[in-house]
Structures are given as C-alpha cells and as structure tokens.
Amino acid sequence: MATKRIVLQDQEEAVLLFGPQDKNLKELERRFGVQIFVRPSNTDNSTGLTLAVRGRPKSVEQALSTLSEMKRNVRSVRQQQNMAHSVDVPLPGVPGKKYSSSDVVYVTVTGRAIRPQTVHQKSYVEEIMKNDLVFSVGPAGTGKTYLSVACAVAALETGKVSRIVLTRPVVEAGEKLGFLPGDFYEKVHPYLKPLYDAFYSMVGPDKFRLLRDEETIEIIPLAYMRGRTLDDAFVILDEAQNTTPEQMKMFLTRMGHGSRMVITGDVTQIDLDKKTQSGLVQIVEVLKGVEGISFVWFSAEDVVRHGLVKKIIRAYELWDNNK
C-alpha cells in the first residue's frame, strides 16, 4: 500500500473540489479503489487542508493525477470569478477555452475526460441521453463507437442500466482469414477487439475483465443475439453496415424494458457480398419519421483521428463522385 498527499489552498478551494456532500471524493474512491483522508495542514496559521490518498501505488498515482487536474480547474474557475457551478470529476484545462461540467461524458480510469469535440458529436451525445434508440452513421474516426461506449459506461455507473451489451456482425473486411484456432472466445476476439480497446481505455483492463466475468459487460457476435430479450441494458450494435436486413430486424426486436440501443455504422465500408443489401442502409428508410428514434449523421469534418484520415476520406468521396 502507498500513501501520497496533496495540499489545498483554503476551505473555499476544498468546497469546490469536494463537490456537494463530498460526491467528487467519493467518486474518486470508488473509481480508483483508494481511500482519501482529509486533514488540516500542519503549518502554523494555515487555513488549508491536506488530502492523503491511500491504496495500491498505481491507483494512488491515478487518483492523485486526477485530483491535481481538478485543483487546477478549481483555481481557474476562481480566477474567472465564475462560481455558478460546482466542479465535477474532472474538468481538464484547455488553453483559450472554458468548459462546464455538462460537457464531460465520462472520466477514464487515468483521469482523462471524454467530451464531444465537434457539433455533430455533441448532438450525438444529447440524442443518446434523450432517446432509447439512436442510429449514428458516418465515416471512420468520427467517434461513433467510442462515444457510445462512454455513454454506456456512464449509464452503468450511475445506475441507469444494470448491464452493457455490445455486439457486431462477424464479417471479414475484404480478406478471408480461414478457420481460426482456439475456443469460442479466441475465435471471435479478433472481430471484437475494437470494442475491448474502448473499454480498456475507459475502465482499465483489470476492471473490464471483472465486469466481463460477472457478465455486467457482455461482448458477443450478432449471431448469438437471436432469441434473447435485453431488459435494463445499454446495447450497442457496432459496424451495423455489415448486417443483413434480417439481422437488423432481429437485433432491434431484442430491446426490452428499461433498455436503450445505439447502432453505429459507415455505409461506405460495407463488407457484405455485393448481392446482399445492408440492413443499415435499409433501416434508414424503414424507420424514417418514427417518433422516439433518432438518426445522427457524421461527415469527414467530424473525424478526430490523425489529420490525414480526414483527407483520405475526402479524397475517396471525390473519387467516388467523379466515377
């Protein structure tokens, strides 16, 4: 076990940092598996406080990093004399830009805040919060899957759902991989790896494995969804452009009480046989105008990967238009 400390300037800074009824400290303790103790600073005539963080060395470092980031933002808020809102966990400082706590979708295990970076991403998150069924369609790198996973984890941790189910069709992207060796998990793992990567970055590998073993998080191929009813769950269908119309209908009718669904896909990257219609392309027409269902469209402007990805997508669009 390790213990490290951080010193606060005064009671006012502590009130902002701790949040209402110390909710921020409680969230840090729960998220990182540490204990946080508050003590008066030992210096004479000091009005400050010292926070002692105790736990496993790596967890202590992560919690301390988040606390330091929070403290910087608290001081920025005070300097701007903007005391209208409390500070949530955390509000990373961005030069020249001031964020409110409502921008943050989720805070990762390493203390990084996930927030929308484009207008369409912000609209996407808002639609997920408002509607039980949301479709997001657009090119790779626009955050469709990553933001939906962040919303799912946030909903799980706040008790809005009791489990997360992620699925995608097992379709090879233009190359035949043959019969993969190993058991069921080893066979499907390569297809589902992008979903695992998103969870690793948010909750960490150890917590993810625990949640997966408890089946609080379930990641399965679409073919294994038939016959199920998914109650009180946040369900994400990724790479939906590779579903057939029959698979899409099967998936949508799995929705149970207290559940919400997010379907993501890129209609320019369909890996189905050319004779097979994409379920995502069809469903846009089938569900057009149905109340309670939202469609969010992304473009190359929403790409948040390497700058060249945006240029590549634009080049392909230009090529297709000139054919």
Per-residue pLDDT tens digits of the chain, which is 323 residues long: 888 988 887 777 787 788 777 788 888 888 888 999 887 766 554 556 788 899 998 889 888 888 888 887 777 665 554 434 434 434 333 333 333 445 788 878 777 778 898 889 999 999 999 999 999 999 888 999 999 999 999 898 888 999 999 998 876 544 444 555 555 556 566 767 777 888 888 888 888 888 888 889 998 888 889 899 999 999 999 999 999 999 999 999 999 999 999 999 999 888 888 888 999 999 989 998 888 899 999 988 888 766 677 678 778 778 877 76
**Neighbour tally for 130: CB within 10 Å:** 10
Cα–Cα nearest to 34, from 14, 6, 57: 57
The H or E element spanning position 59 is helix 57-79
Could you give the C-alpha distances from 5 to 27, 75, 109, 121, 182, in angstroms and in order? 18, 18, 19, 37, 47
Buried/exposed code over 292-318 (b: 16+ C-beta within 10 A; e: otherwise):
ebbebebebebbbeeeebbebbeeeee
Alpha-carbon gap, residue 247 to 249, rounded angstroms = 5
Domains and CATH numbers, the chain: 2-107 (3.30.1370.10), 116-322 (3.40.50.300)
Burial class (CB in 10 A: 0-12, 13-18, 19+), 21: exposed
Residues listed for the chain: 323
Q: Give φ, ψ of 166 to 5 degrees.
A: -120, 140
**141 conformational bin, left if phi > 0, alpha if psi -120 to 50, beta if neither:** left
DSSP 97: B
Q: What is the pLDDT of residue 144?
A: 93
pTM of the model: 0.66
